[in-house]
Amino acid sequence: MTLLEGSVGVEDLVLLEPLEQEPLLRNLQLRYEKKEIYTYIGNVLISVNPYQQLPIYGPEFIAKYRDYTFYELKPHIYALANVAYQSLRDRDRDQCILITGESGAGKTEASKLVMSYVAAVCGKGEQVNSVKEQLLQSNPVLEAFGNAKTIRNNNSSRFGKYMDIEFDFKGSPLGGVITNYLLEKSRVVKQLEGERNFHIFYQLLAGADAHLLKALKLERDTSGYTYLNQKVSRVDGMDDTSNFKAIQSAMTVIGFSEEEIQQVLEVTALVLKLGNVELADEFQANGISASGIRDRRGIQEIGEMMGLKSEELEKALCSRTMKTAKEKVVTALNVIQAQYARDALAKNIYSRLFNWIVNRINESIKVGTGEKKKVMGVLDIYGFEILEDNSFEQFVINYCNEKLQQVFIEMTLKEEQEEYEREGIPWTKVDYFDNGIICNLIEHNQRGILAMLDEECLRPGVVSDSTFLAKLNQLFSKHNHYESKVTQNAQRQYDHTMGLSSFRICHYAGKVTYNVNSFIDKNNDLLFRDLSEAMWKARHPLLRSLFPEGDPKQASLKRPPTAGAQFKNSVAILMKNLYSKNPNYIRCIKPNEHQQQGQFLSELVAVQTRYLGLLENVRVRRAGYAYRQRYGPFLERYRLLSRSTWPRWNGGDREGVEKVVGELSLSSEELAFGKTKIFIRSPKTLFFLEEQRRLRLQQLAMLIQKTYRGWRCRAHYQLMRKSQIVISAWFRGNRQKKRYGKIKASVLLIQAFVRGWKARKDYRKYFRSGAALTLSNFIYKSITQKFLLGLKDNLPSTNVLDSTWPAAPYRCFHAANQELRQLFYRWKCKKFRDQLSPKQVEILREKLCASELFKGKKASYPQSVPIPFCGDYIGLQGNPKLQKLKNGTEGPVLVAETVKKVNRGNGKVSSRILLLTKGHVILIDTKKSQAKTVIGLDSVAGVSVTSFKDGLFSLHLSEISSVGSKGDFLLVSEHVIELLTRMSRAVLDATQKQLPVTVTENFSVRFKESSVTVKVIQGPEGGRNGKLSCKKKGSRGLEVTV
């Protein structure tokens, strides 16, 4: 076994020193707190439930443990599963994996992990994958019908399960066989406070759809069922609805037909409804008490679902028929007896249904008899139990654990002995506690407790739990592992914890006191023949098949075997099965009672280690040599401790190992050399080797560090020397380059002066006359070309609002630069206009017209620029009356809005609707929606408007027109800019004349034969609020404040 550096605590308890309870618990706690939940005892795996998901599972870890042997990596359930599978596949040895522990210790999860690992590493293929899927899907189905929430565990298995997985010669799964043991059927009718019934009842009520519930005659509310604990209907972290869907899917994958699934659910519903059958007191004519059904509707529904008349079912529940060879006697049952019969029927139906489901799964996953196969068994069974009140169930459970402990001790010793014989090591007998005497006390065919219990159940006369206890006291009064109040009194011992109706057995895991009350009833496990016959008469096919003994043709007066006898036979078959296989053990421990992650209660764990016999396991494993290892790996690990084998050894592995241990002067009593392995007796010797190896590693590390530091310094020196040479060479070269550069520059300067002198001399001689003009033209063309190319590369954006333009570099280009600027701007504008739609062009023309009329003249103009002209401000389309007026006009309405008309005589204002068309201005009464005045555009002589932000304007009409004879109009508009702009354009289109628009604060308004002078003054608000007031100034004056 490899000792891993950095491991937490001791990974294999065989190497624990000292070998006592406290160090063992401290080691488990230390590893648990570091999330190391697995520990070895040799090839036995201890698993402490972490109550959380740890990142140590999945395909990555499966691949990791698949490629290594058992001790090469950290302890893990995958390592144990891998050893079992490889031994089965490669060595052709049948395997079994025994998983034991208390409820809540993680047995079910451990069995799932083993099966998932085996499914992942075995062969592939469509048929193989189908078999693997069926084997894996059997788990959720059995959990639903066989698991329940208990005080200790939210998903506690209430039955023992042994699954034989069968493989072909390649190691691919072919199928399997499941055997179940001792379902806790009493849970069907009664649960402790804080516990639930079996999961399937809650999953059915929560997950079934309304149609299914109606077909099963069920209600979704769990509080309506007597057999369900009302206080605990939900479990944290468990979704009953989705689990029900998963169960239906799993049953389909396994091979259940739709009809079979429906029948299973119907029988499950029958059990629930049986609990709601209320029984009432009745009296026969002779005064003898009897019983009857209180609620007729409930019994009728049950009868309909069974396919049985309700009268026959009521008779079977409320009476009992005693048959002899000569006569038949019918006895009425009182209420208590009838309730017992009802509950017994419910328990038997559910128990037989569970057995039927197991058998049905076996039919789907069974292997043909002709195929040669290898077998791996997985045993997930209840651990040793010591409760406050221990009854018949705890008795048989602890009996099973006694047998498993016996198997473990015998097979471990056998395995040790076989290994010693293979290696040629002398085997010395190991002293250990043989619990065969306890097993014999319970299972002896003539003088065992189970035999006495069966004898008492079969004995005629008055039989009770007390007579059974008296027989035990008489038979085992001097047995060293049996105690009771009677035996203690005989030995003058006083123990207040021992009751008068109790006896105690000294099991391997500790003393357990059993209460004999109900031992007889639970062992008998009787179901009245009337109920069996009634169930057989039912027309429901599945329910009928569950009670074959109800067939009158097969009726037998022979008493059925007792529960104890059946369980004893099952255990005997299981033990025979286990003895025929190579065992692998997983011991599951729960660290606390509250399912809290990170909490480790030493007292609770100590009790479980005693129940599981962990210390006894270690002692048996260490009875001879505590540690053994093959020569090759041992030499590889420890060869550095000998100068002969380090750093290189060319001899054999065994000779190398002998050299190593010889130089360490180890005692010959501590060592034994086998054929392929070295054996070390004491863990202290192994720890001494590890300590020497650690010190040697430190020495080697220092040697490596010293050598490395010397090499690094030498390499650094060589690098610095080389760098210095390079730097010197570069410096000298650079200095010479600079000197050469100065010489070259001087030479070039001299050459330039000489060439210039010669050129000037030749120029003066030949080219002086026309050189100036040529040079100036060349220079001007060059700078012109440079200017134009630079302008090309620096043109501003094509946005018409962008007025930027590059400045001319020289004054001579100023005029040309301005001309180019104008050309570029016009080109941008043309390009912008070409992109406009006709509608956008029209809008811009209107805005241009408004700009020509009012820009810089009227204060309200800037506010109108960003606002598009709307035209219709009165909802012309939605007003039928105005539509009629509109239809009478020619062309479209350019402007429609509500204006205020100022009375020229008294200054009062009144509302009017103004419609501007291409030919007229129409003023309409707002109340009557009738045209008051229609003015042709050819009659409009001009418009006067103020420069303020108000909407006041005067519409001057020509005197020769019919409307103009009445005088001009003084109006107020909220959209005066838009109105006058469109009126100006309409007049221009209609008369081909420009409409005079005068911006002034003083203007005359014609009134019939006379005129009124209007003076507009600005108020405190500056005309922004839109209000105006008029005041008469004599007979010919009107002052308007805006």
Classify 282 as helix, strand or coil. Answer: strand
Q: 156 an active-site residue?
A: yes
Task: Say whether the peptide bond before residue 880 is cis (omega within 30 degrees of 0).
Answer: no
Active-site hit among 385, 410, 593, 690: 385
CB 619 within 8 A of CB 19: yes
d(CA 456, CA 471): 9
| Nearest residue to 350 via CA among 566, 145, 141 | 145
Classify 169 as helix, strand or coil. Answer: coil
Q: What is the CA radius of gyration of the chain?
A: 55
Q: 108 an active-site residue?
A: yes
| Nearest residue to 248 via CA among 237, 257, 236, 239 | 257
Report the b/e string of 68-107 with b at 16+ CB within 10 A. Answer: eebbebbbbbbbbbbbbbbbbbeeeebbbbbbbbbbbbbb
Active-site hit among 43, 47, 82, 103: 103
Active-site hit among 101, 275, 383, 448: 383
- φ/ψ of 327, rounded to 5, equals -140, 170
Provide the β-strand partners of residue 1007.
967, 1010
Look up residue 374 and give its two tokens: 């290898």
Classify 742 as helix, strand or coil. Answer: helix
E-assigned strand segments in 437-523: 482-484, 502-507, 510-515
Active-site hit among 82, 100, 150, 156: 156
The helix (run of H) or strand (run of E) holding residue 165 is: strand 160-167
Active-site hit among 150, 153, 685, 864: 153
Active-site hit among 108, 111, 150, 944: 108
Active-site hit among 49, 138, 157, 954: 157
Around Cβ 1021, how many Cβ atoms within 10 Å? 13
C-alpha separations of 40 from 381, 455, 586, 605 in Å: 20, 44, 9, 16
d(CA 209, CA 220): 9
d(CA 41, CA 623): 13
Q: 153 an active-site residue?
A: yes
State the residue for tokens 């555009």.
937
Active-site hit among 9, 42, 104, 448: 104
d(CA 92, CA 374): 7
CB 511 within 8 A of CB 505: yes
Counting beta carbons within 10 angstroms of the beta carbon of residue 479, is it exposed (0 to 12), middle (13 to 18) or buried (19 or more)? middle
d(CA 187, CA 205): 18
E-assigned strand segments in 209-351: 279-283, 289-293, 319-323, 328-332
- φ/ψ of 160, rounded to 5, equals -95, 145
Look up residue 23 and give its two tokens: 């160090």
CB 13 within 8 A of CB 29: no
Classify 949 as helix, strand or coil. Answer: coil
Altogether, the residues listed in the chain come to a count of: 1042
Classify 855 as helix, strand or coil. Answer: coil
CB 40 within 8 A of CB 707: no
Q: 103 an active-site residue?
A: yes
Catalytic residues, by residue number, are 103-104, 108, 153, 156-157, 383, 385
